[in-house]
Amino acid sequence: MERMSLESFNIIESTLREGEQFVGANFTTDDKLRIADALDEFGVEYIELTSPAASPQSLDDAKKIAQRGLKAKVLTHVRCHIDDAKLALDTGVQGIDLVIGTSSYLREFSHGLAMQQVIERAVEVLTWLRAQAPNLEIRFSTEDSFRSEEADLFRVYLAVDRVGVDRFGIADTVGIATPMRVHQLVSGLRRLVKAGIEFHGHNDSGCAIANAVTALEAGATHIDTSVLGIGERNGIAPLGGFIARMYAINPALVKKKYRLKKLRKLDEMIANMVGVGIPFNNYITGVTAFTHKAGIHAKAILNQPETYEILNPKDFGMTRYISIAHKLTGWNAIKDRSEQLGLPLSDDQIKEVTAHIKALADEKKLDLNDVDELLYRWADGASNEPIGK
């Protein structure tokens, strides 16, 4: 089961649902269509939309996207309620994601239903939906699953399984789960049901990507992501970070499934739309994601990039950068730069310049121009003049 899930996982891309819950997100119809098209080009298997019950515009937009003829299946995420399910059906989406809270917090402070009522509601809505649309892809998810009683969760999942669903959802709504907990809960459910299992994980304590991959290892089949991870609070597993993780496990599979070079445009588009920058340390598309600095790293990278890179920047349309204007630089990296500039310097000369750069970097902050200027001077045989700044 572990290998199978890692080799046949599906991405449920929720930028148009969870992402709309990000504080800076206020997508227009045109924005939503651009996002849906870009995600479809990237190759995600599913695109999840905000509930049509949220607003009249949400309803219209869901209809537009459902009828756009995308390769990805279009889903909408609704409360487990007949009225919402009916509205969702009317949009023409290919699948409906039902959700209901099962933690004591949600039962007491949100919908106010006891566990038995939750089960009755779930069975009622599912039975109705199945009768209306036998071919619809239906998911049933609990909310805040990791602060729900495990016995309660399994009671509701088993009751739902008797009616029949395509997929069960487990949601770490508050970002409290750790990989061990995720493995335990997903594998427990995996033993009980045959349907797909979807994992939705928030990133409040930094475990979202690890939890998503662990869910797959435990037998989950579908993972929720959003571009840059945008969502409620600090969001969920980011599409790019999840892709980086899966690529690290099986690059050939990930290259085959998705058009990886589209990731940068996706990250940039969403960052612009929601008014944030791409973090410097972002997976794959952050400015430092493929920047190497230390001399010993640079030397090995120049000889064989895999020495210090598990992700090949070329596969993502990105380029590697070796930072050389600093005290940790090494002569192999400086030599590489002099070759780029076409300067005929001997190894001894390169070593001399490198020593000079290191000494100078102890005195002041250098940039690439300073390094280049020194290299040109050495090539001109004027190495003794002080650098002019």
- Residues belonging to the active site: 297
CB of 21 to Zn ion, least distance (A): 7
**Stretch in the footprint of Zn ion (CB under 5 A) among 13-21, 81-89, 278-286, 380-388:** 13-21
* Rounded distance between C-alpha atoms, residue 91 and residue 86, angstroms: 9
* Rounded distance between C-alpha atoms, residue 190 and residue 219, angstroms: 6
* Rounded distance between C-alpha atoms, residue 12 and residue 292, angstroms: 33
Both tokens of 384, joined, read 């003794």
Residue placing its CB nearer to Zn ion in the complex, 203 or 338 = 203
Residue placing its CB nearer to Zn ion in the complex, 18 or 31 = 18
Encoded amino acid at 208, one letter? A
Write out the binding residues for Zn ion, residues 299-338 only, by CB under 5 A. Answer: none
**Stretch in the footprint of Zn ion (CB under 5 A) among 14-22, 203-211, 325-333, 372-380:** 14-22
**DSSP for residue 269:** H
CB of 316 to Zn ion, least distance (A): 26
Residue showing the smallest CB distance to Zn ion in the complex: 18
Encoded amino acid at 279, one letter? P
Q: How far is CA 179 from CA 62, 116, 199, 210, in A?
A: 34, 30, 12, 6
Exposure on the CB side of residue 228, measured as CA atoms within 13 A: 32
Residue placing its CB nearer to Zn ion in the complex, 201 or 330 = 201
**Stretch in the footprint of Zn ion (CB under 5 A) among 15-23, 101-109, 182-190, 376-384:** 15-23
Chain centre distance of CA 303? 31
CB of 145 to Zn ion, least distance (A): 11
Write out the binding residues for Zn ion, residues 18-37 only, by CB under 5 A. Answer: 18
Write out the binding residues for Zn ion, residues 85-114 only, by CB under 5 A. Answer: none
Helix (H) or strand (E) holding 33: helix 29-42
Residue placing its CB nearer to Zn ion in the complex, 125 or 171 = 171
Both tokens of 155, joined, read 């009671």
CB of 297 to Zn ion, least distance (A): 38
Residue placing its CB nearer to Zn ion in the complex, 20 or 40 = 20
CB of 14 to Zn ion, least distance (A): 8
**Stretch in the footprint of Zn ion (CB under 5 A) among 16-24, 91-99, 253-261, 292-300:** 16-24
Residue placing its CB nearer to Zn ion in the complex, 176 or 387 = 176
Neighbouring-strand partners of residue 96: 76, 138
Encoded amino acid at 256, one letter? K
Q: What is the CA radius of gyration of the chain?
A: 26
* Rounded distance between C-alpha atoms, residue 162 and residue 127, angstroms: 10
CB of 172 to Zn ion, least distance (A): 8
Residues that bind Zn ion (CB under 5 A): 18
